[in-house]
Amino acid sequence: MTYTIPQIELFAAITKMLEKQFAVKACSSRQLNAILEATNTIVAALGKEDITAKAGSGLAAWLASDDTGLSSKFMAWKLCQGAPMARYAHPHDPDDFGRCYRFLESVPEVKERLGMMSVESDDWAALVDNWVELVILYEEEFPTGTCPKLYERMKELLK
């Protein structure tokens, strides 16, 4: 979904919010330029369609998508030859889990290697050991837009 946001109105709203919330009265040219740059970045991002990777699309398409995160990139690095190096991360919440889930859907040939993640940490081991259960909760709850049961179960596993 994209949004058309008028740049000048957003700029005015940001400067008004800075004055009201943080007592920022008069900005220098450098500061105003920074606000303008941030405004331009927001307008551009909201006006652009998300790039999604479809199931079975492969590693390159998934990496080029907007549906990556720290834990899913770490997972890709560990499970896929040719994936860029990524620092350690594990899923902390349903959003993180969803990106890992969709990574495996995009690159299904690595699903059989999921067990390799268990050696990375106790957290990964707990998640991998209960992956099927977590997938069932995710698939059940994701269409509703919220995943409270999945989040609770993840919190139990990641103690």
pLDDT of residue 30: 97
Distance separating alpha carbons of residues 51 and 42, to the nearest angstrom: 17
Neighbours of 115 (CB within 10 A): 11
Phi and psi at residue 156, to the nearest 5°: -60, -45
pLDDT for 54 beyond 90: yes
**Alpha helical stretches, state H, the chain:** 7-22, 29-46, 59-63, 70-79, 94-106, 122-129, 131-141, 148-157
In the chain, the percentage of residues whose pLDDT exceeds 90 is 97
The angle, 0 to 180 degrees and rounded to 10, between the axes of the packed helices 131-141 and 122-129 is 70
pLDDT of residue 21: 96
Mean pLDDT of the chain: 97
pTM beyond 0.85: the answer is: no
Distance separating alpha carbons of residues 159 and 77, to the nearest angstrom: 25
Q: What's the pLDDT band for 1 if we cut at 50, 70, 90?
A: confident
Distance separating alpha carbons of residues 150 and 127, to the nearest angstrom: 11
Q: What's the pLDDT band for 70 if we cut at 50, 70, 90?
A: very high
Q: What's the pLDDT band for 37 if we cut at 50, 70, 90?
A: very high
Distance separating alpha carbons of residues 90 and 73, to the nearest angstrom: 10
Please report, for the chain, the start and end positions of each structural domain, with discontinuous segments joined by +: 7-46, 59-157
